[in-house]
Every structure is written in C-alpha cells, then in structure tokens.
C-alpha cells in the first residue's frame, strides 16, 4: 500500500481546465478551475496545481496519481494541426480514404461536402503485396520496394507514417517488415501500423483509424512528454494516467502510443461519474448532462451502465450530421455532443432570426463579460443579465464579470438588429440554447429506447446546473440530481473510472467450421497483449479479463456483440455459443433465425484492474444548522412563468445540511457552478450533499 494518499483529477476543456484533489485518507475534496491555455495546455495544468498548493501546501509530493483528460487530440484533428503524415498501403487501395463506404450523408444535396482526408493523395504510397483473407501470402512484399516507399515519404517531409495493408489483421508479416524498415531508416519518424492500432476487418475504418493515430501521435507524444516533465519539475513523483474514450484510464505510455484511443478523453469522464452515481443511488434511468463553456455532452445511462459503441466520427463537415466526418473505429462511450455551451455565440442568422451556437468564443477571448476582448454576446452573457449569475461570485469571486459590457453587446448585436426588447433578447438566447439541447436529447433518448419522462437528469459542468432546470422542463423529466462540485464533474469522474484497456482481433469463420482451440489461442493472445499494457500499473493487483465476440448471420453486413463468460473457449459447446447468439439477437431485434448459419467476425477482450473508487464524503454537519444559515440573500432574476424579474432566494451550497429542504424560486451557488430552480420545483439535500430537485409540473 502506497504511503502517498492524494489523487488529482485534471480535465482540460475548451474553455476551462478543472481540478479535483482527493485525500484518500480523509475523503476531503478540494476543487479548482482556471482558463484553458490553448497554445500550451500544460500551462493551465501547472497554474491550477500551484493555486491548489496554496490551500493544500505540499500535496504534490504526497500525490500518488494524477488522472488527466484532454481535448488536445480531438482539437488537433478538427483544426488540422497534426503531423505531416504519409500512408503506405497495398497496391490498388490508395484511395480508400476518399471512397469510404460510398455513402452520401445528404443524398439530395448536390453541394454536400466531405471531410478532407488527413493524408493528401500524393502522400499515399502503394506497395505490390497481397495477403489473402485467410492470412496466406499471395504476393510477397519486396524489401527493396518497401524501402523505396519509405524513402519517398521521407523525401517529401513526412513526420509520421501509417501502414495499412489488406488483410494484415490475419497476417501482419508485411506490416511488421515495413515497421522495421521505417525504424531503421528514420528512427525519429513516428510509425503506426494497423495490426497494432486496429487489427480488424473493414479496410476503410482500419485505414482511417490508423491514419488518425499517426496524424496525432507526434503531437501527443510531445505534449505528454512535456506535461510529465513539468509535473516532475514541480515535485510530482507519482503515476500519470490518461482517460480513454471507452471510459477506462491507462498509462501515459499507452496513450502516447495509441492517441486515437483518447480522442473523447475529457467528455467521457462526466458520464463515468454519472454512471457511478446512478449505481450508488440505484437510479434505473439517468440522463447525464454536462454543459461546459464550449459544448454540451450527454448520455443515457440505463440500468447503471453507459453504453459503449465501437465507432464514432470526428471533424464533421456538417457538425451534427452523421456520415460527414472522419470515421474512427475504437471503443467510445456513447455520447451525444452538440455545440451548446456558455461560450456559444448569439447572432442573427441568414434568415434574420436569432441563432445561438454552434460557434463558440472558447477560452480566448470568451464571452463579453469575461473582459478578455470578446465582442460577441454569448450564453454566459445572457445568463448573467437574466440574474442567474452573480458578477461578483463567478469562480467563487476569483473572476469578476462585466455585466454592463455584456448588456451593451446584447443591445448592439441582438436587440437592435431584431427590433426586440432587451428581456426578449436575453431570455431568447437562454431559452433557444435549452431548446437546441432538448431537441437533441429527445432524439438521443429515443434512439436508445428510453423515455425522457421517467429519467433523472444529472447535471455537470460550469453551465450545466444553470440550464438543467430549463432542459428538464422541456423534456418533461420529473427529477434533477446535482452532485457536489458539479462544475468540475468531469474531473470528479476520473476517480470512478477503472484502469482498463480493450483489444480485439478479426478472424472471420463460420460457427460450423470454427476451431474452438484456435479461437482460444486468439483470446489468450489478446489477453496477453492487454496484460502487457496494464502490467506496469498492476503491481500486486490481479488483472481481470472479459471476453466477447462479434457475430452475425452469414451474408449480413453488421454484427452483434455476444458476451463470452467461459474462461476456456476451447471447451465450449457450439450449441451453447449458438444459443448465446440467438438470445442476444432476439433481445435486440425481437426475433432470430434458428435455421440460418452464423459466423464469428471479431474477438474482443477487456482487461481491467480492481477499481479504486471514490468514497462519497458525508456532510457531517459541515454546513449550517438551519436553512436561514444558508441564505445569502435575494436577487432579482427572470422567471419564464411570471415573464418578469422576480426575487429569487440565493443559497450558499456549502452551508446546506442533510435533510435541508426548500422550494423555488431559488439560486444555489457554489464556487464552480450555479443551480437555478423555478417556482414549481422542490429541493432536498441528502447526507452526501447531493441536491435532488423534484419538478412538480413535470408529468
């Protein structure tokens, strides 16, 4: 058992970088928040740690681990700031990145744009080799031709090289040859081979994922190395972990090798926190809602589990239109993300109507009220002018907001062009962003077979609690849950995430012809690969493995994932495997086809270490003794029910005590976020400091 007892969660968002410091001995939690530094995100990390040291002197030396989530990877893809990347592929497959799946995401739009490939065509080099689908070699790769291909890319200035050859998931001999040549010819050049990144069937997805990994690998390696160095320079000697898109955490070395696995690193953490809270309070259906400064992320958690999907898209040309982005085939928590945050810009659309988002002011310059040079009115400006935020208590008073400047900006950019009243303008901005989020949430919930009228909404993020009540009203949800330190919910989620890693391998074979001994060898090989990744941080902990298989009817184009519980697949009975598939298929689609032949496509293993969960601290009388002790006063704020400004009672969240109850209209303030509660809602505080808001008007 380590004698170090501090853990730090650090989440770099588009606008703010959040910190949560946990003392494992006492359960005490301290939080922090500072503006993100886009030019070098590690600047904000160091700044935030130094601020925390003022309240907790010497904690860095006693820190066992730092768990980190970052938007660096996804931003470098969206902004096209990755490395100059080359691709070596099999002869005839040079254009697979453009061909894709030959599907038009907008079939009736003749002007529909598609994402520009990360590797320009001239940086894609073919080699004359061929491996059959069963892994046998049809055309051997000539080492001299392979060397010439590498030299061509190096001569063009390639900084990173991706290698993706046809059917290499069955036999990687030629990819391994190319990897060895690249390392010999140019040891400083980064290399990603598809057999290590994604040894999976489907050429487009495998190529796109491997290329993306190569594109961001040098940048990620540099950033993580710089971050580790800066942490070491301020006295940190513990372990550095990175959040995976799949909801686990992994070592910094693994993240540097497979940066494509951390694209959705930050947004995932709040969902994992919501999943933990849902299990803790036995909430069957929870809608996790995380609204920050740039985007709003949400996820439907059913039966205590957040769904994980095998693929997602990045850098969409049409941001919310499926099929318009770059396809990435790695496990990722099933998130819905929309351009709605505190920094979302309000403007007049081409149709002459009010439009809010998806463009954001980000951290620089930010909303007008930040006083950092912003000139476009944003959601935070409207929230401030509606009375929902206190200009003297933003970030606990560390950042004073410019209310007058925000008012002038709204007058100039919204009121005058639209010819509406000032109140109509500011309420319109707030309500429109709620409407945008509600419309997206209804679709997301319906797609998962959920019902918005029975879900509990858990609100996270700096802007989440401000907008959660309005969102719940539009969804018809009966209840809100706002955890303590909700404004840094993603950073809190790091403490509830398992140390885990997912690996897979494709091997297409029918159930009738399959050798179960061969499949057992595949599973054992995957377990060994995953164990190598986790072994460094395992210590004396036992690594647990979960197996599953992607199966389908012969002739189908899509698979279903079938869990495999037995530890010895070689001893499995084919009839039992068929029964597992039929049960899974019937649950998904209502019926199955017992006479149709089925086949295996992919074999998956999830390796994990024992969870080191966050123990929720109890309030233990730390708040006030009576409700009056928690009242800070009253503030005029806008009521959509009364359609005018009315007095809202303002509460200090840190002074609330277990069983404290009150009704709206109310504003509950804490350092990183503010909760708004309307007249028809009732608030209860539990023993852990969670706020439960029952909406009487919801049906």
**How distant, in Å, are the alpha carbons of 8, 19, 104, 277, 495 from that of 30?**
9, 8, 49, 19, 13
Indicate the range of 69-73, 178-182, 328-332 predicted with least confidence.
69-73
pLDDT(72) > 80: no
Contact predicate 266/445, CB 8 Å: no
Residues 6+ apart with CB under 8 A from 196: 258
Under a CB-based contact definition with an 8 Å cutoff, are residues 287 and 457 in contact? yes
285-291 vs 296-302, strand pairing mode? antiparallel
Half-sphere exposure of 447 (CA within 13 A, CB side): 12
Q: Is the pLDDT of residue 272 over 70?
A: yes
Mean pLDDT of 650-668: 93
Query: Which of the residue ranges 57-61, 272-276, 489-493, 642-646 has the most confident prediction, judged by mean pLDDT?
Result: 642-646
Given the DSSP bridges, would you call strands 644-652 and 666-669 parallel, antiparallel or unpaired?
parallel
- What φ, ψ does residue 563 adopt, rounded to 5°? -65, 145
pLDDT per position as a tens digit, 422-468: 999 999 999 999 999 999 899 888 888 889 999 999 999 889 999 99
Please return the burial class of 508, using the count of CB atoms within 10 Å of its CB with bins 0-12, 13-18 and 19+: middle
- Cα-based distances in Å from 330 to 98, 105, 178, 215, 411: 20, 21, 24, 16, 46
Question: Which tokens hold the place of 614?
Answer: 């966050």
pLDDT in tens, 298-312: 899 988 888 888 888
CATH number of 80-214: 3.40.50
Tell me if 162 sits within 8 A of 87, measured CB to CB: yes
Residues 206-229 have pLDDT tens digits of 999 999 999 999 999 998 999 999
Report CA-CA distances (Å) from 145 to 41, 140, 149: 42, 11, 6
Query: Chain centroid to CA 605: how far?
Result: 21
Any alpha helices (H) in 319-402, and if so which ranges?
379-385
Return the pLDDT at 383: 96
Q: At residue 613, does pLDDT exceed 70?
A: no
Average pLDDT over residues 387-407: 91
Report the alpha-carbon distance of residue 439 to residue 452 in Å, rounded. 11
Average pLDDT score over residue span 540-568: 86
On the question of pLDDT at 404 being above 90, the answer is yes
State the pLDDT at residue 574: 85
What is the chain's Cα-based Rg? 26
Q: Tokens 């999943």: give the residue.
A: 275
Minimum mean pLDDT among 572-586, 642-656, 675-689: which range? 572-586
For 135-141, the CB contacts below 8 A with 24+ separation are 135/167, 135/170, 135/171, 136/171, 137/171, 137/173, 137/174, 141/174, 141/177, 141/178
Task: Give the architecture-level CATH label for domain 6-76+222-262.
Answer: 2-Layer Sandwich (3.30)
Task: List pLDDT tens digits, range 469-528.
Answer: 999 999 999 999 999 888 888 788 888 888 888 899 999 999 999 999 999 999 999 999
Query: Region 190-210: what's the mean pLDDT?
Result: 94
Kindly indicate the confidence band of residue 1, based on its pLDDT and cuts at 50, 70 and 90.
very low
- CATH code for residues 265-337+435-489: 3.30.420.40
What pLDDT score does 635 carry? 95
Using DSSP, state whether 88 is helix, strand or coil: strand
Looking at residue 698, its pLDDT comes to 43
Question: Are 209 and 192 in contact, with CB atoms under 8 Å apart?
Answer: no
Model confidence at 318: pLDDT above 90: no
What pLDDT is attached to residue 565? 66
In this structure, CATH architecture of domain 500-608? 2-Layer Sandwich (3.30)
Q: What is the mean pLDDT of the chain?
A: 89
Assess whether pLDDT exceeds 90 at residue 675. yes
Alpha-carbon gap, residue 608 to 503, rounded angstroms:
11
* 33 or 123, which is more confident: 123
Give the separation between CA 690 and CA 273, rounded to whole angstroms.
Answer: 13
pLDDT digits (tens, 9 = 90+) for 363-375: 678 899 999 898 9
Q: What is the pLDDT averaged over residues 120-149?
A: 95
User: Between 646 and 532, whose confidence is greater?
Assistant: 646
Instruction: Give the lowest-confidence range in 262-266, 510-514, 594-598.
Output: 262-266
The residue with tokens 């060994």 is 528
pTM value surpassing 0.95: no
Tell me the mean pLDDT in the region 218-246: 90
Share of the chain above pLDDT 90, in %: 51
Q: What is the pLDDT of residue 539?
A: 66
In the prediction, which pLDDT does 623 show? 64
pLDDT of residue 622: 63
In 3D space, the residue among 359, 326, 328 whose CA is nearest the CA of residue 78 turns out to be 326
Rounded distance between C-alpha atoms, residue 274 and residue 663, angstroms: 25
- Is pLDDT of 362 > 90? no
Spans of all domains in the chain: 6-76+222-262, 80-214, 265-337+435-489, 344-430, 500-608, 627-695
Model confidence at 41, pLDDT cuts 50, 70, 90, reads: confident
How far is 52 from 66, CA to CA, in rounded Å?
14
- 6-76+222-262 and 80-214 share one fold: no
Q: Give the highest mean pLDDT range of 245-249, 604-608, 632-636.
A: 632-636
DSSP conformation letters of 465-510? HHHHHHHHHHHT-SEEEE-TTGGGHHHHHGGG--BEEEEEEEEEEE
Q: What is the pLDDT of residue 2?
A: 55
pLDDT at 690 over 80: yes
DSSP letter for each residue of 97-166:
HHHTT---SSTT-TT---PPPSS-GGGEEEE--EE-TTS-EEEPPPHHHHHHHHHHHHHTT-SEEEEE-T
């Amino acid at each position: 058992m380590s004698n170090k007892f501090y853990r730090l969660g650090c989440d770099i968002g588009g606008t703010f970088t959040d910190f949560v410091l946990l003392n494992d001995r006492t359960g005490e939690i301290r939080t922090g928040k500072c503006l993100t530094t886009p030019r070098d995100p590690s600047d904000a990390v160091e700044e935030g740690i130094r601020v925390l040291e003022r309240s907790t002197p010497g904690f860095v030396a006693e820190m066992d681990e730092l768990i980190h989530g970052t938007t660096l990877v996804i931003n470098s893809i969206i902004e096209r700031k990755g490395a100059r990347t080359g691709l070596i592929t099999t002869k005839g497959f040079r254009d697979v990145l453009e061909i894709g799946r030959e599907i038009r995401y907008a079939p009736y739009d003749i002007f529909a744009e598609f994402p520009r490939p990360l590797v320009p065509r001239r940086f894609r080099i073919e080699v004359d080799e061929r491996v059959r689908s069963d892994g046998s070699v049809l055309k051997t790769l000539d080492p001299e031709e392979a060397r010439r291909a590498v030299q061509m890319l190096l001569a063009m200035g390639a900084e990173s090289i991706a290698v993706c050859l046809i059917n290499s998931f069955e036999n990687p001999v030629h990819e391994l040859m190319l990897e060895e040549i690249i390392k010999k010819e140019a040891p400083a050049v980064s290399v990603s081979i598809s057999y290590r990144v994604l040894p999976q069937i489907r050429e487009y997805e495998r190529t796109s994922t491997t290329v993306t990994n190569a594109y961001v690998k040098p940048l990620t390696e540099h950033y993580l190395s710089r971050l580790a160095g800066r942490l070491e320079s301020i006295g940190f000697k513990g372990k550095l972990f990175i959040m995976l898109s799949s909801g686990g955490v992994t070592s910094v070395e693994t993240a540097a090798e497979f940066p494509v696995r951390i694209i959705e690193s930050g947004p995932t953490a709040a969902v994992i926190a919501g999943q933990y809270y849902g299990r803790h309070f036995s909430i069957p259906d929870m809608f996790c809602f995380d609204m920050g400064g740039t985007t709003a992320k949400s996820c439907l958690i059913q039966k205590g589990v957040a769904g994980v999907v095998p693929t997602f898209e990045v850098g969409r040309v049409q941001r919310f239109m499926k099929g318009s982005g770059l396809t990435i085939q790695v496990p990722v928590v099933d998130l819905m993300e929309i351009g709605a945050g505190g920094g979302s810009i309000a403007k007049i659309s081409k149709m002459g109507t009010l439009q809010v988002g998806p463009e954001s002011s980000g951290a620089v310059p930010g909303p007008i009220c930040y006083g950092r040079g912003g000139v476009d009115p944003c959601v935070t400006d409207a929230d401030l002018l509606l009375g929902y935020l206190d200009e003297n208590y933003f970030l606990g008073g560390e950042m004073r907001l410019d209310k007058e400047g925000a008012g002038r900006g709204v007058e100039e950019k919204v009121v005058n062009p639209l010819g509406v009243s000032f109140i109509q303008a500011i309420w319109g901005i707030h309500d429109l962003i709620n409407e945008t989020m509600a419309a997206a949430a209804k679709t997301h919930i319906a797609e998962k077979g959920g019902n918005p009228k029975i879900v509990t909404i858990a609100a996270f993020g700096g802007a989440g609690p401000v907008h959660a009540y309005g969102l719940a009203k539009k969804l018809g949800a009966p209840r809100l849950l706002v955890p303590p330190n909700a404004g840094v919910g993603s950073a809190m989620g790091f403490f509830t995430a398992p140390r885990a890693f997912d690996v897979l391998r494709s091997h297409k074979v029918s159930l009738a012809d399959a050798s179960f001994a061969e499949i057992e060898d595949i599973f054992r090989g995957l377990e060994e690969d995953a164990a190598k990744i986790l072994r460094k941080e395992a210590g004396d902990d036992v690594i647990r493995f979960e197996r599953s298989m992607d199966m389908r009817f012969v002739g189908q184009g899509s698979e279903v994932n079938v869990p495999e519980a037995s530890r010895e697949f070689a001893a499995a009975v084919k009839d039992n495997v068929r029964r597992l598939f039929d049960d899974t298929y019937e649950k998904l689609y209502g019926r199955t086809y017992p006479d149709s032949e089925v086949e295996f496509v992919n074999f998956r293993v999830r390796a994990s270490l024992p969870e080191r969960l966050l123990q929720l601290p109890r309030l233990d009388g730390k708040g006030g003794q009576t409700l009056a002790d928690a009242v800070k006063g009253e503030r005029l704020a806008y009521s959509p029910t009364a359609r005018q400004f009315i007095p809202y009672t303002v509460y200090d969240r840190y002074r609330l005590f277990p069983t404290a109850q009150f009704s709206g209209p109310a504003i509950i303030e804490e350092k990183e976020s503010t909760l708004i509660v309307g007249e028809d809602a009732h608030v209860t505080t539990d023993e852990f400091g969670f706020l439960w808001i029952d909406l009487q008007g919801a049906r």
